[in-house]
Structure formats: structure tokens, C-alpha cells
Amino acid sequence: MEKSDLSQIPTQLIRDTICELIEAKLNTKNYEVTVSSASKEGENNFVGVVYRVSFNKTDDTNSSSKLIVKVAPQNVTRRTQFRSRNLFLQEIYMYNEVLPSFRQFEGSKGVTAAADCFSEYPKCFKTIDDEPSECVLLEDLSARDLSIIDRYSEEVTADHVYLVMSTLGKFHAISFALKDQKPEKFHELASKLKEMFIDPDDPMFRMYYEKFTESIFKVLGNEEDVELLAKMKKLFERHSIDIAADCLNLEMTGSASVISYGDSWQNNIMFGYDMNKKPKEACFLDWQISRHSSPIIDIVYFMFCCTTKELRDAHYDDFLKAYHDSLSAHIRRLGSDPEKLFPFPLMQEHFRKCGKYGLIMAAVLLPMITMESGNGIDLDEAANSMAEKHDTDAFDDYFISVNSRNKFNKRMRDVVADMIRLGYV
């Protein structure tokens, strides 16, 4: 193999690590390798640069293997503005420490069957934490026919949501049971997680969230929206990032807290389907924003960013029941009592206290979710512009175009209406 075959990969350390992994898998130094982009940067992927590396023995071109290499950006300004190193170190910690500890705990309780364990994430083969070569080398889930929902041509369906709720329930259950039975271990794992997405003390974060909050007011300009607008103005008498921080406050959460996924939107979830095109498997991809929080943070993040009002109107209560049923079943499987740890009425109380987090995340993510294909941004350029202007004007209307404005306005207004209807605001 010639080194130039990996020339797209940004550092020698990463290239050497990829070679070592391939040679160990193939048991030879004679192989061919191809590198391609695995995700559209600035459109489907906003934090790192994701490559697909395909490889095979030189004399066996019919048998190719693949892996995903997710690499921190090399642009210095972008690394600083988006806190790239910290995000990658957090993901490395989740893959190297938290997820293996969860699997070990399940095994210690006799939960070893593939259908029962929480295994809905890619295998991690290697990690690098050296600066600026931070990266994770992962299983390529597309080799198992898993795929991301194409948000430009597909909608999240009820079947997708039931599957995500069930998977989140199983994942959160491990935290509840581990904290119940081995509290020192749980708190050891949780204490090393840092909040990556909500930082009220950072002026840039405050401006960033303020601009997205302004978008909520802009969609409530019609005469029939007077009451909705009044409630939003009342809510946002406090800064949105302070409200979001309150939703993550563990004093509000009490003992019912978990290590949560953190970034549960549709771009970070791959689905496998049965012969009838019904989703049968969901795998969570991105663990950089994992945190110690109320379990409902993951739910409202997904529910209000990724589903339509029509879907929520038809199934919302059933979605929550599916989550709680899955959570309870896995807590019991692991030897603890869900009625003691997180009964349904307590879950409803968490929604009343923390549900508005979904509103704030919708203001952040819906511009990206509703944008047109091909309307992505140059993240290096955006970071440089943000640094030069010392504000977040660089993000203004980057995602929302003339053609996507109506779709964004409807989705955002629908979230506001549901927040009020459900009593979260």
C-alpha cells in the first residue's frame, strides 16, 4: 500500500493508526485502501470530519471491509469556536469507559442476549486523544444496511419514534439500575462528563442562544398567534440559555438522573429495516454531548426537533408509554424496581419541569432539519467569521432560505403550540 492512498486523512498519527488497524484485521501488509467522505460537512455533520475507509487484501478485491474515521477539524479557529477537542475527548470517554462499563454491568446481571443488552451503537475499534489528531475509528453501520433518514425526502414516522423511545428507555435503564445497586460506580462515571452544549457563563453561547430564541418570536406574527406570542415573551423574560441550564440542573432532577445520550436528533441515529421497510433497529452515532441529566432531556430533544405536530397529535401519549415500558422492563431485567426509581407520575413531573428544553433545542436545530439540500455551510469560514465579528451574525439565516422558510415557520410554531398545550410552558 502507498501512503498517498490515505492522503485525505489529515495527520500522520491517524494514518498510522488506520494502517495498524487494517493490518491487524487482514493479517497482512499487502492491501488496498480507498478513502471517501461519509457525511456532508456543514449539512449532515457539524462537529467533525467523517471519512469512510474501504480496504481489502491486494489479492482479494471481491472482499472489501469498511470502517468510519471521525476526525476533529484541523482549522484552529473552528477548533476553538466549537470546542472541538473537548467534544472529541467526551466521545472518546463514552466509547472507552461509559459504554463498556454499562455492558459489563448488564453482563454481571446475566443480561447477555443480544436482544436484551443495550448494543445500539457502533463498535469502536480505536481512539486517539492526542491534539490535534483526536478521532474515533468505528464500525461502518452501512455494512449492516443501516441508514440515516434522508430528511430532504423522508419524514420521521411513528415506527421510527417508537423504536427510538424503546431504545432510549433501555439505555437509560442501565443508569437507574447501576445507580441503585452500585452508586459509587455510577457517580464515578457521571462525574467525568462535562456539559458541552449549554454554557451560561460564555458570552458567545449567550448570544448564540439569544439569536435562535429570536426566531421563535418571528414565526408568531399572525393575528391568531397573539396568545402564543404573549406566553413566549413571558417565558423568555429570562435568557433562554439560563432556562435550558435550569432544565439540566440536577437539583431539579433529584435522584432520578441518568447518563443521557445528549444529541438525539435524526442525523445521529441510523435505522435498520425489515423486508416490509419497517424500522427494526436504531443505532446512536454521536456521543459528544452526553451528559448527566434527567432522562426526559433526550426524549424532548428528539420529540420536538424530529417529529411533526401531526405525529405528536396522533401518538404522543403512546410514545411516552413506549419509552416508560421499555425503561421499566430493562430496569427489572437488571434487578431493580422501576416503580421505586422512576414511576410514570415522576416522569410526568420531569416533563412539566424540564420539557421546555425541547422548545429551546427546536429553535437551534429546526433551521438545519428544515433546510434545503445543498444549503450547508462552510464551517471553517463560519468559525472565522464568528471570531472576527465577536458575535454570532455568521450563523444568521445560514440554514433558512426563501424556500425553506415556510417549512421552518410551521414546524417552529407547532412546537410552541404543543409546549403550551402540554403544560411545559
CATH no. for residue 380?
Answer: 3.90.1200
- Domain boundary, last residue among 71, 87, 122: 71
pLDDT for the residue numbered 417 = 97
Task: Name the stretches of the chain with pLDDT < 70.
Answer: 1-4, 41-45, 374-399
Answer whether residue 130 is part of any domain. Answer: no
pLDDT for the residue numbered 60 = 79
pLDDT in tens, 402-420: 778 899 999 999 999 999 9
- Domain boundary, last residue among 71, 103, 123: 71
3-state class percentages of the chain: helix first, strand second, coil last, to nearest 5? 55, 15, 35
Q: Are residues 378 and 273 in the same domain?
A: yes
* Residue 181 CB contacts under 8 Å (≥ 6 apart), including other chains: 334, 335, 336
Answer whether residue 291 is part of any domain. Answer: yes
Pairing of strands 147-148, 269-273: antiparallel
- Say if residues 54 and 66 touch (Cβ distance below 8 Å): yes
Q: Are residues 302 and 188 in the same domain?
A: yes
Q: Are residues 195 and 320 in the same domain?
A: yes
Q: Are residues 229 and 339 in the same domain?
A: yes
Q: Are residues 62 and 211 in the same domain?
A: no
Largest CA distance in the chain: 70
Answer whether residue 91 is part of any domain. Answer: no
pLDDT for the residue numbered 152 = 86
- Domain boundary, last residue among 38, 71, 104: 71
Residues of the chain with pLDDT > 70, as a percent, come to 92
Answer whether residue 117 is part of any domain. Answer: no
pLDDT for the residue numbered 2 = 46
Q: Are residues 46 and 164 in the same domain?
A: no
pLDDT for the residue numbered 397 = 54
Q: Are residues 189 and 61 in the same domain?
A: no
Q: Are residues 214 and 320 in the same domain?
A: yes
Q: Are residues 16 and 160 in the same domain?
A: no
Amino acid at 174: I
The whole-angstrom separation of Cα 24 and Cα 155 is: 41
The whole-angstrom separation of Cα 27 and Cα 265 is: 38
Q: Are residues 59 and 167 in the same domain?
A: no
- Say if residues 281 and 272 touch (Cβ distance below 8 Å): yes
CA of residue 411 relative to chain centroid, distance: 20
Structural domain harbouring 35 = 3-71
Q: Are residues 176 and 316 in the same domain?
A: yes
Answer whether residue 124 is part of any domain. Answer: no
Angle subtended by helix axes 405-421 and 226-235, to nearest 10: 70
- Say if residues 148 and 266 touch (Cβ distance below 8 Å): yes
The whole-angstrom separation of Cα 255 and Cα 342 is: 9
Domain count for the chain, please give it. 2
Answer whether residue 110 is part of any domain. Answer: no
Q: Are residues 209 and 61 in the same domain?
A: no
Does the pTM surpass 0.85? The reply is: yes
Q: Using alpha carbons, select from 120, 133, 121 the residue that is nearest to residue 49.
A: 133
Q: What number of H helices and E strands is found in the chain? A: 17, 10
Answer whether residue 123 is part of any domain. Answer: no
Answer whether residue 78 is part of any domain. Answer: no
